Amino acid sequence: MTALEKINAPPTRLGGTALYDWDHLVQEDRAHRLIYTDPAIFEAEMTNIFGGTWTYLAHESEIPNDNDFITRRLGLRPLIIVRDSNGKIRALYNRCTHRGTTLCRWDKGNTKSFQCPYHGWNFLNTGKLRGVPWPEGYAEDMRDPKYNIAQVPRVESYRGFIFATLNMDALPLTEHLGTIAKIIDEWLDRNPGGTVAVCEANRFRYKGNWKLAYDNSCDGYHVAYSHRSLLETENRFAGENAKGMAYYRNSPDTQPMYMRYTGRGNHFKDKRPNLEKRPGGLWALESAHPGMEHYEAEFIKRYGDRAFALLDLAGSEPVNINVFPNFSLLGNHIQVFEPVGVEETNAIWYGTMIVDDGSVPSDAVTDINALRMRTQEGFPNFGEVDDIANFEQIQRGLMAPEDEWVYMNRGFGIPDRIKTHDDGSITAPATDEAFMREHFKEWKRLMKARPNLAIQREP
Ligand code: FES
Ligand SMILES: [Fe+2]
């Protein structure tokens, strides 16, 4: 049996999960606790979800030059994302073909080759085995492609965002993204040059299943409760409830914001309609942080009428864009969910900077990025900890096996509340759990499928 056939073999160890009745575990308005707690389901997800559909890996700005690399994961598979010596972006398995150790122990760097720390096999950054120590000790021709590093066969970028899948039958990335791509375009196009560069990240790890984060990604129901202290902090000096996410107070469902599900597990929460449409409308929403008055006065002095449009570039874009299973754009962040185990997840928030494309005064670029750091500190630092506390407590709560169901029925069954549009997308009020019911349909579709997984090696 070839490696490829093995990957695509009918589930053996997963025989238990094949016995699950997925339609029973995920129903229209509720999900069974087992999908968050069962190690066998988690293992099947690493194949069927993080393997069977497009997963976000990295942003091109993290490997801007030839020979740059970073290490990431596809599910639990360790990967080296590299821009090889010819400029091609590859996702190499971070796994020596000799006895399987990780080849690269660094987070990032620049190299033309990777030398295995164990016995010194050396690989080009195309994945090809370049040489082994004392080759006369091998009877076999070590140029056999089976010794070249395995790599993910399908790696595609959408406007700088690098996604990968092992599934040869998956749709091309742009088709897979469908109409969510338009919202990603809008998120990008407000920035100079229609792009951003990734800077460093806030890294959180929580003791809970990865789906708890995705279930929260478009959740407008929790904000006023989970994030009460954040809302109070943001509005402490505001005089009225005008800052940050204050529009979740009182009656959020009658606000112009809404959620839209666009298919394949993807959705977005659009809070932009709540904004005043004027230069400075976004900046006005930013909560107080040290130094902002100084920057504002300085920008007015330097750039006159243009000052507030420039300050808007520092403000957090009020939209949450979520691409199943592991990618969110939230404010000015790229958020990535990385499963570690059935009850453990990394939630990583990459900050983004604007780039100097000549359309913005150069001295403003640095200042906007300095301000952007402050505005990016606000929500993730003070908001994510609230969410993570809830994810960990859900995982604890779900340890009661007799109490089987979690409910996602907000808005379900109320006539005319949820609208289906001509393009098949679905809109609902901001606090509805329609997004969750819909992404679980995609989860179930993938869990029932037999994905056509493959790896490839350089010839
Ligand atoms: S495990 Fe890599 S050279 Fe031996
Ligand atoms: Fe939250």
Ligand nearest to the CA of 347: 2
- Which ligand 1 atom is nearest residue 117's CA? 2
Neighbours of 263 (CB within 10 A): 19
Among 397, 434, 442, smallest CA distance to 29 is for 434
Task: Provide CB contacts within 8 A for 221, sequence distance 6+.
Answer: 410, 431, 432, 433
**d(Cα 293, Cα 383) in Å, to the nearest integer?**
24
In the predicted model, is pLDDT for residue 239 greater than 80? no
How confident is the model at residue 17, as a pLDDT? 55
Residue 9 has pLDDT above 60, yes or no: no
- DSSP3 helix / strand / coil % (the chain, rounded to 5): 35, 25, 40
Please report the pLDDT score of residue 12 as a whole number.
44
The pLDDT score that the predictor gives to residue 241 is 61
Tell me the per-residue pLDDT of 81-105, one tens digit each, with 9 for 90 and over.
Answer: 999 999 999 999 999 999 999 999 9
Nearest to 437 by CA among 22, 30, 24: 30
Residue with tokens 């740059």: 68
**Minimal-distance CA residue to ligand 1 atom 1:** 99
Question: In the sheet that 319-323 helps form, which strands lie side by side, from edge to edge?
Answer: 197-206, 344-353, 333-341, 327-330, 319-323, 266-270, 258-263, 426-428, 419-420
Residue closest to 126 by CA, chosen among 85, 96, 166, 160: 85
Instruction: Tell me the mean pLDDT in the region 373-387.
Output: 83
What value does the mean pLDDT take over residues 153-172? 98
User: What residue's CA is closest to ligand 1, atom 4?
Assistant: 119
Task: Check whether 454 has a pLDDT greater than 60.
Answer: yes
What SS3 state is found at 442? helix
More confident residue, 248 or 218: 218
> Ligand 1 mean position to 320 CA, how many Å?
43
Neighbours of ion ligand 2 (CB under 5 A): 387
- As a dihedral over the C-alpha atoms of residue 244, residue 247, residue 253, residue 254, rounded to 10 degrees, the angle is -140
Ligand 2 center–CA 227 separation, angstroms: 7
pLDDT classification of 412: cutoffs 50, 70, 90: very high
Q: Which two tokens stand for residue 432?
A: 């509805």
231 residue type, one letter: L
Helices of type H across 100-247: 173-177, 180-189, 210-216, 223-226, 228-234
Percent of residues, the chain, with pLDDT higher than 90: 82
How far apart are alpha carbons 97 and 143 in whole angstroms? 12
What's the CA-to-centroid distance between 2 and ligand 1, angstroms? Answer: 22
Angle between helices 39-48 and 434-448 (to 10 degrees): 80
* pLDDT value for 355: 97
Is the pLDDT at 217 greater than 90? The verdict is yes
- Convert the pLDDT of each residue in 382-408 to its tens digit: 789 999 999 999 999 999 999 999 999
Greatest pairwise CA separation for the chain in angstroms: 80
**Probe residue for ligand 1, chosen from 93, 94, 95, 98 as the CB with the greatest number of ligand atoms within 8 Å:** 98
Task: For 261, list phi and psi in degrees, rounded to 5.
Answer: -100, 130
- Spatial separation of the C-alpha atoms in residues 457 and 450, rounded to whole Å: 23
DSSP 78-116: EEEEEE-TTS-EEEEESS-TTT---S---SEEE-SEEE-
Residue 379 banded pLDDT, cuts 50, 70, 90: confident
**Amino acid residing at 324:** F
Question: Has residue 13 got a pLDDT over 60?
Answer: no
> What CA–CA distance (Å, rounded) separates 412 from 221?
14
Q: How many CA atoms lie within 13 A of 92 on its CB side?
A: 31
Q: Cα–Cα distance between 151 and 79 in angstroms, integer?
A: 8
Task: Give me the amino acid identity at 256.
Answer: P
State if residue 129 touches ligand 1 by the CB under 6 angstroms criterion.
Answer: no
pLDDT surpasses 70 at 279 = yes
CB atoms inside a 10 Å sphere around CB 173: 19
Question: Of ligand 1's atoms, which has the minimum distance to the CA of residue 97?
Answer: 2
Which of 90-104, 289-303, 371-385 is the least confident region? 371-385
Backbone angles phi, psi at 410, to 5 degrees: -65, 125
Q: Would you place residue 15 in the very low, low, confident or very high pLDDT band (cuts 50, 70, 90)?
A: very low
- 324 — pLDDT class (breaks 50, 70, 90): very high
Q: How confident is the model at residue 256 (pLDDT cuts 50, 70, 90)?
A: confident
Q: How many CA atoms lie within 13 A of 171 on its CB side?
A: 7
**CA 99 to ligand 1: nearest atom:** 1
Report the alpha-carbon distance of residue 337 to residue 204 in Å, rounded: 10
Centre of ligand 2 from the C-alpha of residue 236, in Å: 19
Strand partners, 330: 320, 333
Contacts of 385 (CB under 8 A, 6+ apart): 204
State residue 8's pLDDT score. 56
Q: Is the link from the previous residue into 325 a cis peptide, with omega within 30 of 0?
A: yes
pTM of the model: 0.95
Ligand 1 neighbourhood includes 117 CB (under 6 angstroms): no
Q: Identify the burial level of 17 via C-beta atoms within 10 angstroms of its C-beta, where 0-12 means exposed, 13-18 middle and 19 or more buried.
A: buried
- At 377, is the pLDDT very low, low, confident or very high (cuts 50, 70, 90)? confident
Whole-number Å distance, alpha carbon 96 to ligand 1 midpoint, is 6
The pLDDT tens digits for 58-72 are 999 999 999 999 999
CA-CA distance, 455 to 155, in Å (whole number)?
A: 12
User: At residue 237, does pLDDT exceed 80?
Assistant: no
Output the CA 115–ligand 2 centroid distance in Å: 43
Q: How many other β-carbons are positioned within 10 Å of the β-carbon of residue 229?
A: 12
Averaged pLDDT of the chain? 93
Ligand nearest to the CA of 104: 1
Amino acid letter, residue 193: G
Residue 5's pLDDT is 59
